[in-house]
Amino acid sequence: MAGFVCMRRLVRINSNRVLFLNVHKCKREIRTFFANSVNYKEAEGDNSNLSPELTSRLTLLYRRRRSLSPLERISGLLPQDALSPEVMQLRDLNETETTAETELLETRLIQEDCGPREDDLDTLEDPETPGVHSHVTFEEEESCPSVPGERLLGFGELLVAEYSKKRRVEFKKLFQLQSGARLMGNWGFIQHNDIVGKRAGQFLKTGRGVSILVRRASLEDYVLLMRRGPAIAYPKDAATMLMMMDVTEGDCVLESGSGSGAMSLFLSRAVGSKGCVISVEIREDHHKRAVLNYNGWRRAWSVRRGEEWPDNVQFHNADLCTASPLLSGQGFHAAALDLIHPHLALPALTPHLHPGAVCAIYLANITQVTDLLEGLRCLELPLLCERIIEVPVRDWTVAPALQKDGSYCIRKPPVLPGDEQAEAAVVTSNQERTTGSRPDFGSVPYIARPHPEQMSHTAFLVKLRKCVL
């Protein structure tokens, strides 16, 4: 009961809970090309090059780490966004003080810090709390543009905070830079006011020693991390559809359904200010979500670039199957369909496609593809199916191999049996090369293999071309 009362005191029900849930949802969707340095031992089972004495002192040190305080235990069980800033600050202080001694000793033992130890990162954005100060320290204190055309980060921009650990992006958060708000996690927090005016692509080191990369969100980041209604067309597939349709600046393209607005944004960028996109969505809630996401990106863009993103998408809340009146008088250079029964919508759309134009269709299941082809066979529409494809993307890990202490591994040339002199020379030269801060070109082995986590199937893409019979 006492624990329950204590927990209730610690919890501050937060309206940003949805952000926490979204982060967890997004975590599963993070797929990146990993190019950080990797630990050779973990991969190859090589022996440590630390001395036995140093290894045993480190083992002792890790064993001596203190047990958790009641505050840490209870707050660790709760969603991080439910903790009040005061509790977060107390917990930070507590941990900083009690681990300071251990960390100092550890730093002395291993000179090169191999990275942060925090295992889990969550985040929420909160209004500023008076008296609570950000622990952030900037690796580059003074910010001024150094490249022609460079713009410093401004309020209203859409940014991504990224934390990498052991070869992988552990945490990726999309946020809008707002005065008084803050980015928060187990690593401490960063005041948005401390980010504004800085350069994009900067590492911010928190007081707890965690490096967070803060950069501008790409359109790909935005569509993957923005709030969703239905599932989006994945960027790899959207890019291939744009290629299939050969969308060019100035084109007029029909899209349906609008869904969450991801494809609408890619189309909007492809057709540019001289082109237009007609986006048709049957569900009102999805239609509204698509409009919100589109406008969210446009607003942030004008702050980022100081110029408007083209206002070139007309969103309509309608059923494409019965949208002939809406389409009357229109001609399309291409069409992109992402809806459950595309063959039902093709009779309304096909008359408005330019002869020779392409309609690219996104379908999750192969049974939908056969339904589509069967529909085409029965409808006798002037549409040829040119291709049915999947777009596989395979992530790889490619990085210099590292020892446990963070130093580079060194390639070992073969030595003929009995040639002790050559063997001794190799050992000496390896020692020399390892002690130097940057081993010679070609002397470091690399880890290079497909990443164990891969994106699974997303969609089949069908390319239909309107022909003249």
Ligand X SMILES: C[S@@+](CC[C@H](N)C(=O)[O-])C[C@H]1O[C@@H](n2cnc3c(N)ncnc32)[C@H](O)[C@@H]1O
Find the angle CA(277)-CA(348)-CA(264) to the nearest 5 degrees. 20
Of 455, 314, 443, nearest in space to 396 by CA: 455
Pairing of strands 158-165, 396-402: unpaired
- Closer to ligand X by Cβ: residue 186 or 256: 256
Contact, 369 vs 460, CB < 8 A? yes
Task: Work out which of 174, 177, 263, 349 binds ligand X, going by CB under 6 A.
Answer: 263
Stretch that binds ligand X, among 4-12, 39-47, 276-284, 380-388 (CB under 6 A): 276-284
CB under 6 A: which stretch of 2-10, 62-70, 163-171, 332-340 binds ligand X? 332-340
Would you count residue 245 as binding ligand X (CB under 6 A)?
Answer: no
Position 181 contacts ligand X (CB under 6 A): no
Which residues make Cβ contacts (< 8 Å) with residue 29, sequence separation at least 6?
Answer: 224, 225
Q: Among 228-236, 372-380, 417-425, 437-445, which window interacts with ligand X (CB under 6 A)? A: 228-236
CB 127, CB 180: distance < 8 Å: yes
Nearer to ligand X, 126 or 237 (CB): 237
257 is a contact residue toward ligand X (CB under 6 A): yes
Signed CA dihedral, 58, 63, 69, 70: sign only: positive
Closest distance between ligand X and the C-beta of residue 363, in Å?
Answer: 10
Q: Does residue number 241 form part of the binding site for ligand X (CB under 6 A)?
A: no
The number of residues in the chain equals 469
Measured distance CA(305)–CA(294) in Å, rounded: 16
| Alpha helices per DSSP H over 79-120 | 85-109
Nearer to ligand X, 177 or 459 (CB): 459
Question: Which of these ranges, 86-94, 162-170, 174-182, 274-282, lies near ligand X under the rule CB under 6 A?
Answer: 274-282
Q: Which stretch binds ligand X (CB under 6 A): 149-157, 251-259, 394-402, 426-434?
A: 251-259
Cα–Cα distance, 364 to 459 (Å, whole number)? 4
Decide: is 270 part of the binding site for ligand X (CB under 6 A): no
Residue 439 makes contact with ligand X by CB under 6 A: no
In 3D space, the residue among 266, 273, 158 whose CA is nearest the CA of residue 216 turns out to be: 158
Q: Should residue 280 be labelled a site residue for ligand X when binding is judged by CB under 6 A?
A: yes
Stretch touching ligand X by CB under 6 A, among 97-105, 128-136, 200-208, 335-343: 335-343
User: Could you give the strand order of the β-sheet that contains 313-317, starting from the edge strand earlier in sequence?
Assistant: 313-317, 276-281, 252-256, 332-337, 353-363, 460-466, 383-389
Torsion of CA 401, 405, 410, 414, to 10 degrees: -100
Task: Decide: is 327 part of the binding site for ligand X (CB under 6 A).
Answer: no
Q: Does 320 bind ligand X (CB under 6 A)?
A: yes
> Can residue 232 be called a binding residue for ligand X (CB under 6 A)?
yes
- Indicate whether 352 belongs to the interface with ligand X (CB under 6 A): no
Dist CA 177 CA 303 (whole Å): 11
Told to check if 221 binds ligand X by CB under 6 A, we report no
| Residue 403 touches ligand X, criterion: CB under 6 A | no
Q: Single out the residue of 222, 319, 359, 383 in contact with ligand X (rule: CB under 6 A).
A: 319
For residue 284, the surrounding DSSP H or E stretch is helix 284-305
Query: Which of 116, 259, 275, 439 forms a contact with ligand X (CB under 6 A)?
Result: 259
Q: Tell me the two tokens of residue 63.
A: 């064993």
Residues 6+ apart with CB under 8 A from 245: 253, 333, 334, 335, 336, 357, 358, 359, 360
Rule CB under 6 A: say whether 462 interacts with ligand X: no
Can you give the binding site for ligand X, defined by CB under 6 A? 230-233, 256-257, 259-263, 280-283, 286, 319-321, 338-340, 345
